[in-house]
Chain A
Amino acid sequence: MKQTLRRLIQVSLAGSMVFGALAGCSSGTGSASTTKAETTVEASNQDSSGSSQAAGESSSAAAGEGGLDEGGVTNATGFPITNEPITLTAAVQANSLLPDMADSNVWQAVADKTGITLDIEVLSDRDKIDLMYASGDFPDIMMRTDPSANQLTTAVDSGYFVELEPLLEQYAPTWYTYLQNNPMMYNSSLATDGKLYGLPYVEEDPTSRNLRDQWVIMQSWLDELNLAVPTTTEEFKDALVAIKENAGKGSIPEDVIPFYFFFDNYIGGQFDIYGSFGVYITSGDYLVVDNGVVKDQSTNPDIKEPLKYLRDLYALGVIPPEVFTDDWNTYASKISSDPAVVGSYFSYAIRQLDTATAMKPLDSGNGSTPLMRSQAYTPAPSNTAIITTENKYPIATTRLFEAIASDNDLRMEVGRGTKGIVWDYDDSGKAYLKFWEENTEKWTENSKELGTQNSFVGLFDKSFYANNYTDVYKDQVNSRSWSYYNVYEDSVMPNDMVYVGGSLDQDDTNMASQYATDLSTYRKATFADFITGKQDIDANWDSYVAQMKSIGLDDFVALRQKAYDIMVK
């Protein structure tokens, strides 16, 4: 009896261990049920997308009757878009400049006008976004998440996204016409299957697009040293040496960094030095477009001259070795320091508005025209508004995208922020900004009033800037607008030199990515050695070029040409 009891206890103990051990799998059981639920949802979505397609087909008839669509909720024309409030879920990648994107007050204004409330999830890190694309667990709208070509292809192949073009044609004439008339914008928004699934954020402000980085120099230090803003490479060298020699005097700090850049990075990198010597580069991969032909500049012998100039600056101690070892955050904090610690740097905006100034590209004396880098009129970025098959109201959503592009109030509310606080209309009825990113204090203070900038769809095209907008910053010294019109307008690279690339197929994308990584790794290491004098530039040039070729430079340029042709066809 005792033995039977003992056995019973043993068996129940073992049993409980089995169940205990499998407790971790309970989520597995749960997930089984979730899968089931998801399948149901998916099925219903297929139904809904099916019905929406059907609805799309019948919508003209419905609209013709002045009737309603999507379960009788969506109005065919006018505001509100839906005759009863609806809520759509959305996801967007976090933007450190816009900490309150999800609960910004602009969404209330959007809801009041359109009847559509957006319930936004801000995805704080890249892994979460990647996971969303890998699992297919999407909300109704994908705002800006910067999917890679492969991620987009996978999601499209899996039927997660709704093709937009038929919807645009019917419900978003502004977008449809714009994309028809701007092939570069259209081509760069297409997925690898040649169809359109996402709308871009269009930003065609000439002061933003026609210039990449400004070349900043500390005017106050030059004044203290009785020097003018340099116009030639030699003057620039002398100014940097003077700054270094006068460290600790006046407002020049003891630990001054005369010249600083983020080595070989397209943003903040040393590329405008190359441009000063007539070696024009318009992509981080050292490419430029010359009459429609994509060319590599990293093996152009002319680049030896600016490399030697940089080597001289390094040898004079005006470039610190940290330019090659610092990470982005360190770089950003050094150039942003106010009072300044850096004498000259490259940046989108001047970080010391009262003491620094914008400098033109420098004349090297070699007879070439010194030019600054510009940016192409391409999406900034693309795929900022994607309708997923989870979305039960694709037509209402398309109409929302249209409203954001065609209704000036909504365009400014969503793209910039709350009317009366962030922007307003002037006497001529044109919109103007009351403050902007460069005014960090107001920006932070009103963070809940800010729009999404380029984190969601927007249409700030050339006609908007020509007809609906007044640039009040044009006259504000050292703002980017001021710098563009007063310093750079005549010395930026023409737009057709800027490299742009469309979507290649999966195998080509993978190979291009591999080549780009290998080439940039080798080029960076070699150029770092050239500039620091570890390798002699002339003596090692041929072996460097040979190695670049053997890594696959020619194949890489051919792939980039292919991508360029897709884009500008």
Chain B
Amino acid sequence: MNKQVALEMKQVSKYFGSLAANKNVDLTVYRGEILAILGENGCGKTTLMNMIAGIYYPDHGSIFVDGEEAIIRSPKDAFHHGIGMIHQHFKLVDIFTAAENIVLGVNDGKSYNIKEVNRRVGEIADKYGFHVDPKKKIYEMSVSEKQTVEILKVLYRGADILILDEPSAVLTPQETDRLFEILSRMREDGKSILIITHKLHEVMSISDRVAVLRKGEHIATVETASTSPAELTEMMVGKKVELNIDRPEPKNVTDRLEVKGLSLTNPEGIKVLDNISFVARSGEILGIAGIAGSGQKELLESIAGLSHPTTGEIIYNNPKTGTAENLRDKDPVAIRELGVRLSFVPEDRLGMGLVGNMDIVDNMMLRSYRKGHSMFVDRKKPRDLANRIVAELEVSTPNTHTPVRRLSGGNVQKVLVGREIAASPTVLMAAYPVRGLDINSSYTIYSLLTKQKENGVAVVFVGEDLDVLVEICDRILVLCAGRVTGILDGRTTTKEEIGLLMTKTEVKEESGNENG
């Protein structure tokens, strides 16, 4: 087997401010192979790929394409070298048609004729079996249609090196299978394909080799055939992780929050929540599992009063008064005025939970500034709280007057979770609270959640790492495409069982096929 090197990175580093996103990374990509780039969230996978695609420019090091040094200072340069990237967040112009988006930036020397483009797009789509109308506007498209357009964009350019950033995150398993088939065909065609992922089963099923990144550094590149998921995991997380999260038995369990038949249709007319019912109990951690975008965000936002469900009830049993209140269609202030102590750690920390440009003290006030009848804000209590959180949760910051935007991800999350817990909630909802955090910070967050549970709080924990979910949660609710596909006992269930429920619709269809 004489492998030809397509792309090589030597000692590449990239810094954001003083934070190293990538440090001295060496990477080799051969022609006709699928290389998986594996790593936890925030390990620098995407940044590394962005440097190949010309989105970022490396601070140090060099990139070689076909053995020659390539200066990729813009995506255009990347295209010249036959490199195309399909981003996780689609880069499409909403008011353009599919074909217009596909041809955007292509300068093949021929005169521009949109009819001709429509025809050629149709051709390529047919060849690979994509279903897409070249004249459809992007803003009228579904997520998977948009991804199709993104892939066609790269195919249209005839790229030799393709980078896909977590392509399956938004796809159904069938769509993923189809995509992987196409990718295999491209590999046979001699193309190099880089897939960013953190899903091990995908790595094992499709890749030829795996490059593992950890904290911005390249750990190793191994042949897929000669490795195992266990070994890869070990490389990914550094040492073999026995999670060993403490899970005390729930005490004084009472129904705190009852969600009954909740449905929500988003502004685009898509039903994102479909008849959801469950109970969150005090003294318990209720985990919510599901593929990204299965309705987790909408569910929490509906409970928190940020979106308004089309049908259903959200009943809160007030432990002080013993009354039951329906929270549906109440805004966050109205909910608070009812005496409901509901805390919410949203997924988007700096865009929703905190204000990036404000300092820690002012961010502490977000929840509490309304207190009292004075027209002036009281900064004394928030300042004390800020100092307490910085000290207790070991937030590393110059002082409490540093804008939170400048803190690292883990510290930002400590500030946010600290504030939400300080409101002494009866219900605490946390969406992906450890995303992008290092192991130590993650454990801090786990123990905070567990402590809340012991204090009798009903904790709702939306997670993506199934290992964590099965170790920390008392019960696990599985969401799939906006519906509840199961509520499991956290102590007895397995990752496999949850994984199955996360893709239940498809499983049903497939089993139907098997029976038939």
Q: Do A and B come from one complex?
A: no
Residues of A within 8 A of B (CB): none
Residues of B within 8 A of A (CB): none
